[in-house]
Structure 1
């Protein structure tokens, strides 16, 4: 252990603080406090590092009282907080946090023009605030950010990442490929042969998995996917509206569209309405997520449900395991999706 200049003698027992112990041990302040208070929810290797730091610095707790344990907290950040998707994930994370006695601090990913945007600034700010780790949802991270969190000793878990700059990054998602396959097979079972795909951003790994599932279902049915039927855009209503318009204005338009999110699907439904088409009589539409939008829509959306609250709960529990120094069995966890049939799909040729 490198320690501080001059070692314990230079620091002195009266000068050493719990914050110095945490820094030398490479752990958060709450973790150092848990070790000194005899808490059992700390990995043995982490406990040993804290105890070594205590001896090296000559740290002595205040006489007659235990160290005050700061409130445990983690950060949860999104690209945006207004979507039903984000709210479902937020619900799962906060419920798991309450059960574990951990506060969840919610925010958004720093933008390039933010003061804390430099990777080291973001990581150091969270470290100084005593966060035990960070959960990032549907955001794009660069390698510098990931490495800065590792250097700061801050565990990181990502949910539905747009990218993974390092394979070692721990992530939580759903069975997106299987979901894309199931959605397309449902439309094929209704007799649809010309099926459009209104997808998410091309760089999004979850969106790519849904696209591959769509293509696999078509190939299995002996159909060749037409390039003109595959479009990409952000996971949002305006993008769904635009993609729906482009698909439905083709010379040979699809009779069904698989949209890569609920919001995208609602945009497709509106595009059909503006063109004088009825859902599902003239066009079948399948969404993905099963947020509250799906049940409030008219008609109610047939969707592939991904368990968003459960994904949030798993992410929080995984982050706490990493903060405790535990070794995970796998870097990526996928929770099962399944089809929910409602009113936005019908047999082909039902006009």
Structure 2
């Protein structure tokens, strides 16, 4: 095999086929049998080959793509839709278009969509990594000099730019607020326990509980999928405890909406019988009934900042890594019962 860049000849040798057969596979030709196609694709994966459609389409070698790839882990969460809107605001005004892809928390799918975007000659990538993503998974992008900005979730050691929220400060503020309303049994609900974001938000929860003189209880930490369905399931488990919580800091707004649904299914009204605080402040938080108290992250603003950071790297023709932690703030609405005085009277 030749040294340096992998070629069609290298793939042909590895797969035991002709150069023309490899070319047919790359073109998606129906003339190639499935077994041969699978063998060629396996060789390409093993060698780390990425098909350059731009070159295949005879683009000028000095032409720059005007495409930004946006890869998110859960597009069913409205947070990421809002983030994508923020990205679009910036890239559109700069003459770029975004390609948006959802991985559904699959690292394999993530690899596929990133490879596909590279085939189409993206100028840079904004990625909210799937669970379990490591620096090794992102190394090919770094080696190729493709500008990358990670959002929401960071990947330790990845050597790419990142833009995340101050997760610890957010849950500290949420717990402090519930304590000020008279709560002592405060649950931490939702989120995948094997993610950095979960660890950071749980750390803030634990620190604030300790600062308030409240004992930390593992029973009150109830991980689940960070989704509406996950919130319903998690609050169901929490309400089975012998000493039930009276309020909850939720991993995100999606889980918080699910907690509200689950409470109502048990005849309890959020904001009256149980306090709920979310994390994100998606658009729906303001119009929900009751309106959701939450930690505001500004998803659209995060998208705009991520796009600005990526465009700066693209225009500078280099990918120097920057790590940015965005400030968050508590937005008090109705779901925590603030202003009603009900929890303070019950538990004082």
Task: Give TM class, smaller chain.
Answer: 0.7 to 0.9
Q: Which residue of 1 aligns with 2:14?
A: none
Contact 1:123/1:154 (<8 A) preserved: no
What is the alpha-carbon distance in structure 2 between the residues aligned to residue 152 and residue 283 of structure 1?
A: 51
Shift of 1:108: 2.3
Cα offsets for 1:255-278 (capped at 9, x unmatched): 111111111011111221122222
Equivalent residue runs for 1:1-351 within 5 Å = 69-109=63-103, 111=106, 119=111, 125-140=116-131, 141-161=133-153, 164-323=155-314, 324-326=316-318, 328=320, 331-346=322-337, 347=341, 348=343
What is the alpha-carbon distance in structure 2 between the residues aligned to residue 197 and residue 112 of structure 1?
A: 27
Contact 2:271/2:336 (<8 A) preserved: yes
What is the alpha-carbon distance in structure 1 between the residues aligned to residue 118 and residue 250 of structure 2?
A: 40
Shift of 1:83: 2.2
- Unaligned 5+ segments in structure 1 are 5-27, 31-60, 62-66
Q: Which residue of 1 aligns with 2:10?
A: none
What is the alpha-carbon distance in structure 2 between the residues aligned to residue 350 and residue 344 of structure 1?
A: 17
Contact 2:285/2:293 (<8 A) preserved: yes
Change over 3 Å in CA distance of 1:183–1:104 after alignment to 2: same
What is the alpha-carbon distance in structure 2 between the residues aligned to residue 159 and residue 327 of structure 1?
A: 16
What is the alpha-carbon distance in structure 2 between the residues aligned to residue 243 and residue 76 of structure 1?
A: 30
What is the alpha-carbon distance in structure 1 between the residues aligned to residue 140 and residue 266 of structure 2?
A: 50
- Unaligned 5+ segments in structure 2 are 6-51, 55-59
Change over 3 Å in CA distance of 1:123–1:307 after alignment to 2: closer
Query: In structure 2, the residue corresponding to 1:193 is in which secondary structure?
Result: coil
Contact 1:124/1:152 (<8 A) preserved: no
Shift of 1:113: 6.5
After TM superposition, the score normalised by the length of structure 1 is 0.74
Q: List 4+ stretches of structure 1 deviating above 6 A.
A: none
Cα offsets for 1:163-187 (capped at 9, x unmatched): 5152423211111110000000000
After TM superposition, the score normalised by the length of structure 2 is 0.75
What is the alpha-carbon distance in structure 1 between the residues aligned to residue 4 and residue 187 of structure 2?
A: 61
Q: 140-149 vs 238-247, which deviates more?
A: 140-149
Contact 1:71/1:103 (<8 A) preserved: no
